[in-house]
């Protein structure tokens, strides 16, 4: 399995760490976390969160009012950063709206609206409030269709929802669509926003840290949930920044726990290297999935060590952004691309003492370093794994 | 794009398998609705069967049918699952709990992910290749089929494609009226084998007006994205050149032609 590199023409990321690339790069360089103690009035849980307050007051265009929900407000806020709308408009003018696909990942879409609608059910009939819309708000495809309309694109579109690997896998789908000639370019990305389902659900699984998350730390106690949105515009051919490879596997082990030695993660990374025709030595930095749950970090660290030994520096940026679930893939793909653009290897500012059990070369402090090729890992429930490789073009 | 259809599985009220479906699609038997028996997929260990949701059991039961009709081992197939609403009844249960005590059960939460059916399936079959779960609202059948086809061709790998709708309880059914289950499972190969049922040529084309539903199909199934697949299956009963249009968006169709 080999692939020709795809150009990354434009990309953008919005999370609690920052709105857009410059803010995010600054947070990474200054080792500043965007996470804060939970202040959501509607979900009083003892934990930290990565909240994007600026998204909450975003107004959707009137014609798309039916799509109004937290997830789509966040999507629009992110689309407006870094000149992304202009980049897509230029590609649309050059290639035609029908030749650009839209593939987004999410785990919960606008489910917060449904949760609130259930709080407002008619006590007598049990019916939902009359104003509630399912198809444009809660359906997992709602944000994809919203983004497609905002961007004025008419190519094939769909949503991938494989929990926390969702918005990594959209890169793989885009490469295949472009290779088969179904599109010349693709907008890929992901959007996930804070909701009761994930906050209370991960708490029920005892996977949420009471304190801020500390990836790969000896004393790590779980993840911190954040919200995020991000997008990338991919096109056939080489570019200054490129998608070079990807790997997708299943653990076939457990619905919510990783394979103890990270077997599926290992196979995903090897497949990504094979597609990119690179050896492990040629990867300069790995942005880990690194959720900071005891089991996940141990499994991933050992899988990375099995392939890369201690020769490749790696870190998790979830202490900066939080675990943004269905948006984690695009958030960390964007961080990988930022690291290439800035020749800066991000650290993990909330990690205090690296757990030796994780074995790999976890590097808590960021540093300026020439980077040519980087890997980004994303793993989700259902044992769903995806590894991406990005690099600089010749 | 040209793909080979190796095997089919079907579950719907009145269509318990591919043989009975073929008889209806070919006009040899009239369609007669009959309640669908609760699914108890043999490949799911008893504990997983208990823990899984009805949607998971439905999707896996249809997949098992297709597997019984092919010599390709399940471990050799990549997975593409597609559904407009995979969590369904679990979403309803979670939202009820979250509107009250907020004491969510851990199993309920992991069952709520859209890829729970492909996750349980991969565990049951020890299927370790990539698994993708797709949603494209009412256009989920065509979108997932394209996703499966490009993966089969690019990776030169057989793909198990399953598209499903599972009934929703009130009040969700007021806003997403899926009242009956329909599932179609296809084993897709990148090129014809000795056992190939038919080859399909797939193309994306502009939509010209609404695509008509098959005349024999119950009206209730028009809420089901997976039921769009019956038009594609009908080409397997027709001769070379038999074709079908599958809506991909308001502007696009996937054209399926038997070749």
User: Which residue of B109, B119, B147 is in closest CB contact with A173?
Assistant: B147
Task: Name chain A contacts of B130, Cβ cutoff 8 Å.
Answer: 169, 172, 247-250, 386
Closest CB from B94, B147, B155 relative to A158: B147
* C-alpha torsion sign, points A121, A126, A131, A135: positive
pLDDT category, A168, cuts 50, 70, 90? very high
Separation CA A308–CA A302 (nearest Å):
10
pLDDT above 80 for A394: no
**Cα–Cα distances in angstroms (integers) from residue B180 to residues A156, B94, B128, B169, in the given order:** 28, 21, 31, 11
pLDDT digits (tens, 9 = 90+) for A206-265: 999 999 999 999 999 999 999 999 999 999 999 999 999 999 999 999 999 999 999 999
By C-alpha distance, the chain B residue nearest A263 is B128
Give residue A120's pLDDT: 97
Report the alpha-carbon distance of residue B195 to residue A50 in Å, rounded. 53
Average pLDDT over chain A, rounded to an integer: 97
| Amino acid B80: pLDDT | 98
Residue for token digits 């980077």?
Answer: A371
| B8 pLDDT higher than 90 | yes
Please tell me whether residue A173 adopts helix, strand or coil conformation: helix
Please give the backbone phi and psi of residue B67, each rounded to the nearest 5 degrees, phi first: -65, -35
Q: What is the pLDDT of residues B181-197, one digit of tens each?
A: 999 999 999 999 999 99
Question: Does the structure show a pLDDT above 80 at A297?
Answer: yes
Pairwise CA distance, residues A34 & A29, whole Å? 13
- ipTM of the predicted assembly exceeds 0.90: yes
Provide mean pLDDT across the span B33-54: 92
pLDDT value of position A253? 95
Q: Which two tokens stand for residue B231?
A: 């038009």
d(CA A359, CA A364) in angstroms, rounded, equals 14
Q: What is the 3-state secondary structure (H, E, C) of chain B?
A: CEEEEEEEEEEECCECCHHHHHHHHCCCCCCCCCCCCCCCCCCCCHHHHHHCCHHHHHHHHHHHHHHCCCCCCHHHCEEEEECCCCCCHHHHHHHHHHCCCCCCCHHHHHHCCCCHHHHHHHHHHCCCECEEEEECHHHHHHHHHHHHHHHHHHHCCCEEEEEEECCCCCCHHHHCCCCCCEEEEEEEECCCCCCCCEEEEEEEEECCCCCCCCCCCCHHHHHCHHHHHHHHHHHHHCCCCCEEEEECCCCEEEEEEEC
Is A162 touching B (CB cutoff 8 A)?
yes
pLDDT at A105: 98
Interface contact A107-B122, CB threshold 8 A:
no
Write b or e for each residue in A255-267: b if 16 or more Cβ atoms lie within 10 A of its Cβ, otherwise e: bbbbbeebbbbbb
Distance from CA of A237 to the nearest CA of B (A): 17
Instruction: Number of helices (H) and strands (E) in chain A: give both, helices first.
Output: 11, 16
B9 touches chain A (CB under 8 A): no
Say how many C-beta atoms besides its own lie within 10 A of residue B191's C-beta. 12
The string of pLDDT tens digits covering residues A101-127 is 999 999 999 999 999 999 999 999 999
Q: At what angle do helices B54-67 and B116-125 cross, to 10 degrees?
A: 50
* Least confident span in A161-165, A327-331, B49-53: B49-53
Q: Is B37 on the interface with A (CB under 8 A)?
A: no
């Amino acid at each position: 399995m080999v692939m020709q590199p795809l150009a990354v023409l434009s990309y953008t990321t919005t999370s609690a760490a920052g709105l857009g690339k410059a803010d995010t790069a600054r947070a990474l360089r200054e080792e500043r976390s965007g996470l804060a103690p939970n202040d959501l009035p509607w979900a009083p849980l003892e934990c930290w969160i990565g909240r994007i307050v600026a998204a909450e007051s975003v107004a959707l265009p009137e014609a798309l009012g039916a799509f109004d929900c937290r997830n789509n407000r966040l999507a629009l806020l992110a689309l407006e950063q870094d000149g992304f709308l202009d980049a897509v408009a230029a590609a649309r003018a050059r290639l035609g709206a029908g030749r650009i696909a839209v593939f987004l990942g999410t785990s919960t879409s606008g489910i917060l609206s449904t949760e609130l609608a259930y709080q407002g059910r008619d006590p007598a009939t049990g019916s939902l409030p009359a104003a509630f819309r399912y198809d444009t708000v809660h359906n997992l495809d709602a944000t994809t269709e919203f983004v497609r309309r905002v961007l004025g694109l008419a190519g094939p579109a769909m949503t991938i929802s494989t929990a926390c690997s969702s918005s990594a896998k959209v890169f793989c789908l885009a490469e295949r669509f472009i290779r088969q000639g179904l599109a010349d370019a693709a907008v890929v990305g992901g959007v996930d926003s804070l909701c009761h389902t994930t906050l209370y659900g991960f708490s029920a699984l005892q996977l949420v840290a009471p304190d801020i998350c500390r990836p790969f730390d000896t004393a790590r106690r779980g993840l911190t949930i954040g919200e995020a949105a991000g997008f990338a515009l991919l096109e056939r051919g080489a570019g200054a920044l490129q998608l070079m490879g990807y790997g997708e596997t299943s653990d076939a082990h457990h619905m919510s726990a990783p394979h103890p030695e990270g077997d599926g993660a290992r196979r995903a990374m090897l497949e990504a290297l094979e597609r990119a025709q690179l050896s492990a030595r040629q990867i300069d930095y790995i942005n880990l999935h690194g959720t900071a749950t005891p089991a996940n970090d141990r499994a991933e660290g050992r899988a990375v060590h099995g392939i890369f030994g201690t020769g490749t520096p790696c870190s998790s940026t979830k202490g900066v952004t939080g675990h943004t679930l269905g948006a984690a893939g695009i958030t960390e793909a964007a961080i990988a691309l930022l690291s290439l653009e800035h020749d800066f290897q991000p650290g993990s500012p909330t990690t205090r003492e690296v757990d030796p059990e994780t074995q790999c070369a976890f590097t808590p402090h960021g540093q300026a370093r020439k980077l040519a090729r980087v890997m980004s890992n994303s793993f989700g429930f259902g044992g769903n794994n995806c590894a991406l490789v990005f690099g600089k073009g010749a | 794009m040209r793909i080979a259809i190796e095997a089919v599985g079907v579950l719907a009220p009145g269509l318990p398998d591919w043989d009975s479906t073929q008889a209806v699609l070919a006009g040899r038997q009239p369609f007669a609705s009959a309640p669908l028996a609760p699914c108890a997929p043999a490949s799911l260990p008893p504990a997983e069967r208990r823990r899984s949701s009805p949607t998971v059991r439905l999707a896996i039961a249809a997949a098992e049918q297709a597997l019984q009709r092919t010599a390709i081992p399940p471990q050799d197939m990549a997975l593409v699952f597609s559904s407009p609403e995979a969590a369904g009844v679990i979403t309803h249960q979670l939202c009820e709990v979250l509107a009250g005590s907020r004491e969510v059960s851990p199993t309920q939460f992991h069952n709520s992910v859209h890829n729970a059916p492909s996750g349980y399936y991969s565990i049951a079959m020890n299927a370790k290749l990539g698994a993708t779960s797709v949603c494209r609202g009412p256009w989920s059948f065509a979108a997932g089929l394209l996703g499966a086809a490009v993966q089969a061709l690019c990776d030169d790998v057989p793909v198990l494609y399953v598209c499903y709708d599972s009934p929703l309880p009130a009040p969700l059914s007021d806003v997403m009226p899926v009242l009956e289950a329909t599932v179609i499972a296809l084993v897709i190969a990148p090129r014809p084998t000795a056992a190939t049922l038919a080859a399909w040529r797939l193309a994306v084309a502009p939509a010209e007006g609404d695509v008509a539903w098959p005349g024999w199909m119950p009206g209730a199934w028009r809420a089901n994205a997976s039921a769009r697949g019956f038009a594609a299956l009908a080409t397997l009963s027709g001769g070379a050149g038999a074709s079908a249009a599958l809506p991909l968006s308001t502007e696009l169709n996937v054209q399926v032609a038997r070749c």
